[in-house]
Amino acid sequence: MKILVAIKQVPERDAQIGIAADGRWIDESDLNYTINEPDAYALEEALQLKEKNGGEVVVMCAGPERAASTLREALAKGADRAIHIEAEDLGERDTLGVAQVLADAARDEAPDLILTGLQSEDLGLGQTGVVLAELLGIPHATIIMQVEKTDTGLRVKRELEDGWFQHVEMPLPALLTIQSGGNKLRYATLMGIKKAKTKETKTVQAAATASPSITLERVYLPEKQKKTEMLTGTPDEVATKLVEKLKFEVRVI
């Protein structure tokens, strides 16, 4: 079974984010980048499926030249091959535009299964995997906790709300978006890092866009606001007022 894993390069989670001088994007000069954590869980699921059923794991990542380091990280963890889709303008592409770039590379591979993370840590839209499946015309399922290969395809476990789960039988080829936390992530071993240097990484150019799908006017940090209001009355009256404010103003209950 050939499994294709779509991964994204994002800033490290503890990175100190600042705004660029033009105010239209973040300052990338001092940032370190790594694999998007939900995509790391998708990669781990793919590697475990390969260990149980055999086959090949191919990782693909769209992005500028620096994205190659994230692909090497995936190869060091056990992926067999990598595809780097060089694209300097991902910030100007909407979800459909990014999914089209991934779909072009996926069609050439003709995989049995495509895995992505549920969402990216930088944008958090959670749409790219689903749109990719639609472009390829294959069935998909989201928020997947477990994947099992069967004689007819796959059996997957989906996470629903309030502790409920759904088990679904699916044919192949298919696409799954993987929920974080389903497996324990592995570290790249020293031997894996050495082997990664000899594994194939194919570089392809993303198709150019006629015009930007997204135009960023301004990027800014959240503005801090502080407001204090004293509630008076009996304890019951104060509790009632507090609940009303939490429900109708803050909207957290």
* 199 belongs to a structural domain: yes
Instruction: Quote the crossing angle between the two packed helices 37-53 and 67-77, to the nearest 10°.
Output: 30
* 192 belongs to a structural domain: yes
Give residue 210's pLDDT. 64
- Give me the domain span that covers residue 29: 2-205
Give the mean pLDDT of 224-250: 87
* 43 belongs to a structural domain: yes
Dihedral pair phi/psi, residue 70, rounded to 5°: -70, -35
Q: Which two tokens stand for residue 91?
A: 């910030």
pTM: predicted TM-score of the whole model, two decimal places: 0.82
Range in 97-111, 147-161, 176-190, 209-223 with the lowest mean pLDDT: 209-223
CA 147 – CA 130 distance, rounded (Å) = 17
Q: Which two tokens stand for residue 172?
A: 């192949």
CA 54 – CA 112 distance, rounded (Å) = 12
* 45 belongs to a structural domain: yes
Give the mean pLDDT of 153-163: 91
Does the bond joining 111 to the residue before it have cis omega, within 30 degrees of 0? no
* 104 belongs to a structural domain: yes
* More reliable by pLDDT, 131 or 246: 131
* More reliable by pLDDT, 31 or 158: 158
* 38 belongs to a structural domain: yes
CATH code (residue 196) = 3.40.50.620
Q: Which two tokens stand for residue 217?
A: 């006017």
Count of the separate structural domains present in the chain: 1
